[in-house]
Structure 1
Amino acid sequence: MHAPERHTGDVGTESLIPKDEIVSSGTSSPHRLRILQGWLTAVSFSLLLAGTNLTTPLLPVYRAEIGFTPFMMSMSFVAYVSVLVVVLLLFSNRGVVRFSPLLVCVALILAAGSDVVLGTATTAGVLVGRALAGVAGGIGTGAVAALVVASLGARGRSVSATGNLIGAVLGTSFAQLCVALLGARAMYWTFLVHAIVCVCLVVVLASVLTLRSEENRRILTNRDLPPSNADRSVRAFHVRPFLGGCIAWSTISCAIVFLPSFFQSLGAPLLRAIGVLVLLVFCALGQIFSPRLYRFVPQASGSAASWVGISLLLIGGIFDNNTLSLLGFGLLGIGIGIKYRIGLLVLTLGAAPAEQSSLSSVYAATTYCVAATTVLVAGSMGESFGLDRFVPCLFLVLGLITVAFSPWAPKLSDSVETESLSP
């Protein structure tokens, strides 16, 4: 039996798509082109985020080959996030949404340029390349959110959360494979391959966007939309979605930056190699299967899975139990995925494309800003106390914060995900 569906108030999205492009003409060429645009745009966002995660498995390599310290590992993250946050806020204005087709293409080109700089495998190159990746991600996030909602309607509403994690999984997996096969040479070849894929995709995407230029212009510049429920959602839930997203993204950011080197220092090569990958895979799975999870535990918020995962991860590290640590990585990933997606969906409840673009950018900017600050402070403290002693304390604190916030965390029942519960 299906749980009762909630009316999401999704106004101004499907109503702007011509009737001959909706279900009744599912086999028509305009309909297929609209769907193709939606999925190509979503793939573009995942590719952008894949590029920003290519450095994750390379951090231990950077530490060995070019002398990265814990503080420099933090700075490689902060160089990306600080620029990302500024650009996200600059492009969160609703008036920018009409340029979304152009901005997505520009973002892919900048991502390829970032790869070229990162491929120099120098300390300055890594920092500058990460900053360029921040520009690409900041330009692309809102533009992708608007285009996907304009193309796919309510189904595309969570692309900024799901595409983020899918990109992280793909980028981390590919980079880890390159490290395993190429060793130190992965610092060069990993980015070259990603740059080539970005260039190929932008050619295909630009062609589709050109064919749909008139339709996109009409949808993205429509000024006569009825008021949506997005502002009501923000007022009703206050800052809870932002707090949940900040806790989730700070935790996953600290895990990505510090845990590979931490487990390497403990002499646990398996956890160094695949621990973060397991975290990201289960984070994406937690997002993808959230609608099904709602049927059984509508009050789930991801908090319980997060703090249990942190506990198992730390216990496994202390007692040299890889199985327990990997289970902890998995549970932590599920909790983070659910929590981060719920926050975005609650904020964008009923939003039209322009609102989706603006709210997605603000949500990403807020969560990344807090995460960057957390990582920078943690890196500075890790420099003073050493990774072996500091990392367990860091994740113990993150676990306690998660437990303290859990009674106020937004639940699955609060989110727009319940609009699409069919398998």
Structure 2
Amino acid sequence: MPPDLPFARAARRPRLSRGISFWLLGAIQLLLLFAAGAPSPLYPLYQAEWGFGPTAVTLVFALYAFGLLAALLVVGSLSDHVGRRPVLIVSLLVEIAAMVVFIEAAGLGWLLVARGIQGLATGAAMGAIGAGLVDLQPLHKPRLGPLVGGTSILLGLALGGLGTGVLVRYAPAPTVLVYLLLIAAFAITLAGVVFMPETTEGRPGALGSLLPRAPLPRRLRPHVLVITPSLVALWAVGGFHLSLGPALTAAVLGERSTVIAGAVIAVLTGAGALGQLFLQRTTPLRILSYGSVALIAGMLITLIGVAATAPAAYLIGTALAGFGYGASFLGAMRSLAARAEPTERAAVFSVMFLISYLAFGLPAVVAGVSAAHLGLALTSSGYAVVVIALALLALVGLYVQRRRKAPRAAETARSQPAHQSA
């Protein structure tokens, strides 16, 4: 692929190398997810200062999720038309604006506005980043783009909650300091994006692409249908731990520290990152299968830990579920990256993230409301049963797809010698 395509030729300026640009995209995605997790440890401080309850916290989370989903539907495929760089520049500027609103927040309404803006910025950037990582990955390392994409998301979520929890415990003015640090980081990455090479020639239809839809190529729909249960299960696990995790940690470990709660989330996402590294050389469908098995085992052990108030079982189950979380996400990204054409990548990854964040956001909101009315134990048990059922459904779908592929592969292998001899 040429190093600088037509959208980048409007002005002659120095360009970052493709290698540096690749890692810059990974850093931006990590920062976006860090920022997404950063407000969670601050909610108790906001609640104490402004006097709102758990339902309002759920509403703040929901607004972020809905903003993100709206952006994925409207501008998710835009970078396939106008280029990756313009979409990323605008997204980072909007993200910085959200951080400013957080700093100036003087009540619940401000938090709602800030989270909504943040969701829009993150959703707009995700498709362009996922596509850009595949565009820029080294030709001799075709697995690296999805690997960095998945790992940066997991590490960002882990570091956001844990890092902000540490600031709440030990730093002055945490409700201002964390956002100032993020503004500085986003400003640095924004400067880098300005000097990135453009990686797609784009295509006509930019305005038409803004109509709310999920523009998935027809030939990919059967495969997306197969991996959807895996996507829903793995992101529902993330929503389970981010929505109910702090309360479950307090109940099982007897510790309400924001640092400890953040550390348990880090166990989940850190194990996910290790799962991605451990399985990176495995085929995507096998990765998805292994991930589904780990999700089932992890959720069962987590439930045992909660029911028996057994910290060891709770942490082991969390780590095992995290392994499945990361593995399943890597398998989904790898399988889609291998099937999408360069001018479809942003659209395809946007559909993937749309499914993912629906599964991440809606169950978490329902769980937050349910826990207030039905109790933590019943809610967590019901949630886990749904996740396990989805993971089992994913295993069935993956098995059927492998069975269908096996005869075709055998037929191809038999035909090759005849073709070569001819």
Which band: TM-score by shorter chain? 0.7 to 0.9
Residue of structure 2 equivalent to 1:131 = 116
* Aligned-CA RMSD value: 3.2
* AA partner of residue 236 (structure 2): S
Residue 76 (structure 2) pairs with residue 88 (structure 1)? no
Q: Distance in 1 between matches of 2:263 and 2:276?
A: 20
Residue of structure 1 equivalent to 2:373 = 384
Quick one: structure 1 residues 302 and 66, their matched pair in 2 at CA, closer, same or farther if it must change by over 3 Å? farther
Residue 225 (structure 2) pairs with residue 239 (structure 1)? yes
Q: Distance in 1 between matches of 2:169 and 2:395?
A: 39
Pairing of 1:312-323 with structure 2 (within 5 A):
312-323=301-312
Q: 2:193 aligns with which of 198, 205, 209?
A: 205
SS class of match (1:220): coil
Aligned-pair CA distance for 1:256: 0.6
- More deviation in 230-239 or 114-123? 230-239
Quick one: structure 1 residues 56 and 408, their matched pair in 2 at CA, closer, same or farther if it must change by over 3 Å? farther
Q: Distance in 2 between matches of 1:257 and 1:17?
A: 45
Q: Distance in 1 between matches of 2:379 and 2:267?
A: 22
TM-score, normalised via structure 1 length: 0.78
Pairing of 1:351-362 with structure 2 (within 5 A):
351-362=340-351
Residue of structure 1 equivalent to 2:409 = none
Whether the aligned pair in 1 keeps the contact of 2:41 and 2:168 (CA below 8 Å) is yes
SS class of match (2:40): coil
Q: 1:372 aligns with which of 353, 361, 373?
A: 361
Identical pairs, percent: 23
Pairing of 1:209-220 with structure 2 (within 5 A):
209=196, 212=197, 216=198, 219-220=200-201
Which string of whole-angstrom CA distances, capped at 9 and with x for unpartnered residues, describes residues 13-59 of structure 1?
A: xxx2369xxxxxxxxxx997121112112211221121111123334
Aligned-pair CA distance for 1:347: 2.4
5+ residue gaps, structure 1, are 1-15, 20-29, 224-229, 415-423
Q: 1:140 aligns with which of 125, 133, 136?
A: 125
Q: Distance in 2 between matches of 1:411 and 1:245?
A: 17
Residue of structure 2 equivalent to 1:280 = 269
Q: Distance in 2 between matches of 1:111 and 1:257?
A: 23
Q: Distance in 1 between matches of 2:352 and 2:202?
A: 22
Residue of structure 1 equivalent to 2:408 = none
Pairing of 1:226-305 with structure 2 (within 5 A):
234-265=220-251, 267-269=254-256, 272-292=261-281, 300-305=289-294
Q: Distance in 2 between matches of 1:170 and 1:276?
A: 9
Whether the aligned pair in 1 keeps the contact of 2:276 and 2:327 (CA below 8 Å) is yes
Q: Distance in 2 between matches of 1:177 and 1:121?
A: 23
Quick one: structure 1 residues 250 and 204, their matched pair in 2 at CA, closer, same or farther if it must change by over 3 Å? same
Whether the aligned pair in 1 keeps the contact of 2:22 and 2:137 (CA below 8 Å) is yes
Quick one: structure 1 residues 97 and 322, their matched pair in 2 at CA, closer, same or farther if it must change by over 3 Å? farther
Residue 59 (structure 2) pairs with residue 70 (structure 1)? no
Aligned-pair CA distance for 1:367: 1.9
* AA partner of residue 247 (structure 1): A
Residue of structure 1 equivalent to 2:85 = 101
Residue of structure 1 equivalent to 2:2 = 17
